[in-house]
Each structure stands twice: as C-alpha cells, then as structure tokens.
Amino acid sequence: MTREITYAEAVCEAMSEEMRRDPDVFFMGEDIGVYNGAFGVSKGMIQEFGEERVRETPISETAYVGAAVGAAMMGMRPIVELMFSDFMAVCWDQIANEASKVRFMLGGAVKVPMVLRTASGGGTGAAAQHSQSLENLYCHIPGLKVVVPSTAFDAKGLLKAAIRDDNPVIFLEQKKLYRVKGLVPEEDYAIPLGVADVKREGADVTVVTYGRMVQMSLEVAEKLAAEGVGVEVIDVRSLVPLDRETIIASVMKTKRAVIVHEAVQFSGFGAEVAAMLADSEAFFHLDAPIKRVGAYYTPIPFNPILEASIFPTPERIEAAIRETL
C-alpha cells in the first residue's frame, strides 16, 4: 500500500522500522527525544523505543560522534543526528580521521556501520553558520559514503540501505524538503546506494542534479517541454558511490549537460561531474560546453532577499539550458 507522507515522516519511518528489525540499531543526538529534533523528524520515537535506544546527547558533537564511532566498531549500528551539517566542522576529526579510516587501517577486521544524518542547505533564514551545503567536503574523504535524497520515497529507501551498510554514511537531508510530501509504500524496501534515478527522460539536454534542485530542475523541464525541448533530469541521489554509467549514457544520448546543485559552485560537486564527463566517452558526443549552476561564492546571508539571490533559481537553470541549446 502506498500513501502520501512528508519527507520528514519518511525519514522517521525508516529509522523506526530499522530499529524494530535490528536491536543493534540505536539513535543518538541533541534534543531528539521529547523535543523530536530541531525539525521534528523523530516524533514519537522516544515513546516507542525509550531512552536506551533514543539517546539524548550533550551539546558536544565531538563527544557523541566519537562515541558513535566506538559503538559501531564494537558491533552496534548507530544513527547519529547533527542538527545542522555545518556542525560537522566541530567533529571533523571523528569523521574524517576515525570513522572513514578505521576499517582500512585495521585491514577490514573492524567495521564502522554508522549513519550520520544531518540537515543541509539554505532557504530557511538560518544564516551563514547553519545553511551550508558541504557535501563536497565529505566526498573528498575516502571511506565515507555520501547520500542526498530529493523525495520522501528516496529518503526512506536510501536511509534503510545506509543503516544496513557496513561503512559510515553521511546522509544529507536538505531542510527545505522536510515538509514536502510524496508517495511512499508501507512495505519494506531499500534503494541501493550508488544508483542514480532518471526522474524525467528527454533527448535534448541532460540535467544532473540532487537534493532540492531536483524539483527545481523538473519545473524547468516541464516549462521547456511546452516548447518542444526534451530535458532529461538525472537525480544522482548517491554522490559516493557515484553512478557514472547512468550519467555518461544520458549525456552521450542528449549531447549536452547542465549540472545543478545548491552548494557553492566553485570547487563544488558539479566540478567532479564535469571532469568525469570530460574524461569519458561522453566528451566526444558533446555539442556544447558543459554548464554548471550553483550558489555564488559567498557566505549565506541572513536577509531572506539576499539569501534567495545567491542560490540557483529556475531562471538561472533555464538560462544555462538555453545556452547549451
């Protein structure tokens, strides 16, 4: 049976179902119990699972992320919530130098099956220290997997796969998506990491994107369809591992590529995708230069008008597509 629920409810369902399925799974973070987390994602979980498995932590990301790494090494499967992805700067050593490397350094004798969930992105007036999209930092660290779901369906299926994975997974939930509804099955399902999704097929240009930019790109694709322009929209979903084959095949078909993400464009994930395409068979099929659309290179303003002005918009995405055509 399929019903319509919010992105936040889909995340909560995934965590709850996995905790019922596996007693080694537990949840930890700041204000995730009675307060239900900063964005209300964990509503009802402490009432069902109790304080032993929904563990309130001190305001010390260094301490509780480090504790999660240790718990994972000892056979537990922690789900860790950071209120904002920006706070990963506080516990970067635990993520980049411990969680990501322990399995390699010990020759596979120890696994680190943990998920670090966090709210990413702007658009909510949370200003420069609570609004960043830092996914490219995590992608640069070998040993971490990085996931950015764009829909409620994907959020639930990808989170289940992440929880069952034996490696540390950074699970980025863009905060503007939490209240967006989508169709989600009640039945158990998981979406494999490393598999992109073609959200819309088209023959004239490929848009490679993820997170809340997927909906924006689909909006532009719908508009251009009325003019006879076929825009193929690929939702990467999993940045690491990356589904190179789907992206390359699409660009070879359409002969044009536009890469869209909310993160700062300079040195963003789009640069990696562009380089991958330039170094693949797709390069020889291109009829136009690869275009990127990302946020401008500036700290994110608190003022809502200024904030909105730095992020990609449908108008900027449309302009990039028209340039390639």
Q: What is the pLDDT of residues 310-321, one digit of tens each?
A: 999 999 999 999
Average pLDDT, the chain: 96
Which of 256, 263, 322 lies closest to 293, judged by CA? 263
Tell me how crowded residue 310 is: count the other CB atoms within 10 A of its CB. 18
* Dihedral sign (CA 73, 74, 79, 80): negative
Residue with tokens 């930890």: 28
Which of 108, 132, 106 lies closest to 120 in space, CA to CA?
132
The first and second tokens of residue 300, run together, are 């994110």
Supply the pLDDT for residue 259. 98
d(C-alpha 246, C-alpha 198), whole Å:
8
Equal fold, 2-185 vs 197-324: yes
Instruction: Confirm if 53 and 19 have CB atoms less than 8 A apart.
Output: yes
Residue 27 and residue 54 in contact, taking contact as beta carbons nearer than 8 Å = yes
Q: What is the pLDDT of residues 287-303, one digit of tens each?
A: 999 999 999 999 999 99
Whether 111 has a pLDDT exceeding 90, the answer reads yes
Q: Residues of 103-118 as b/e, b for ≥16 C-beta within 10 angstroms?
A: beeeeeeebbbbbbbb
The pLDDT confidence band at residue 14, using thresholds 50, 70 and 90, is: very high
If DSSP codes are grouped into helix, strand and coil, which group holds residue 173? strand
Instruction: Give the whole-angstrom CA distance, residue 148 versus residue 137.
Output: 14
26, with CB counted inside 10 A (0-12, 13-18, 19+), is buried
Is the confidence at residue 22, as pLDDT, over 90? yes
d(C-alpha 262, C-alpha 103), whole Å? 32
Query: Binning pLDDT at 50, 70 and 90, where does residue 1 land?
Result: confident
CATH of 197-324, one of 2.40.50.140, 3.30.1490.100, 3.50.90.10, 3.40.50.920: 3.40.50.920
Token digits of residue 142 = 């070998």
For the chain, give every domain's residue range. 2-185, 197-324
Percent of the chain beyond pLDDT 70?
Answer: 100
Active site residues: 130
Predicted local distance difference test score (pLDDT) of residue 261: 98
Dist CA 15 CA 175 (whole Å): 18
CATH of 2-185, one of 3.90.550.10, 3.40.50.970, 3.40.50.740, 1.10.3470.10: 3.40.50.970
- Average pLDDT value for residue range 87-106: 96
Give bridge partners of residue 26 from the DSSP assignment.
78
Q: pLDDT tens digit string along 205-262? A: 999 999 999 999 999 999 999 999 999 999 999 999 999 999 999 999 999 999 999 9
Would you tell me the crossing angle of helices 213-225 and 314-324 to the nearest 10 degrees? 60
pLDDT at residue 164, as a whole number: 98
| Residues 211, 234 contacting (CB under 8 angstroms) | no
Q: Is 180 a residue whose pLDDT tops 90?
A: yes
